[in-house]
Amino acid sequence: TNKDLFVVAEFMAETKNFVFETEESISYIQIFNDAGVLEFQLPVMSNKVTIGKGIMDTGDYKLGFMINGSTDIQFTSVSVK
């Protein structure tokens, strides 16, 4: 994970959700598969987002977080088993 970006970045096994929380509000998240193809772009408009594991198949993903007030997308990797 990108430790400078997240206050919380964890997988909740009991609910099968990824939980991300940042200091600043997240405008949207982009989810790329391991081939680099954009699969989802989700509007967030909050500093906390929960993503259900069910929207991703088994594999490696790259998540891009666009933070309000920033022009750069911050990326982190997620591996779904």
For the whole model, what pTM was predicted? Answer: 0.87
pLDDT string in tens for the chain (81-residue length) = 466 789 999 999 999 999 999 999 999 999 999 999 999 999 999 999 999 999 999 999 999 999 998 899 999 999 998
List the beta strands (DSSP E) in 13-70. 17-32, 38-52, 59-67
Report yes or no: 30 and 73 within 8 Å, Cβ to Cβ: yes
Q: Tokens standing for 6?
A: 């997240």
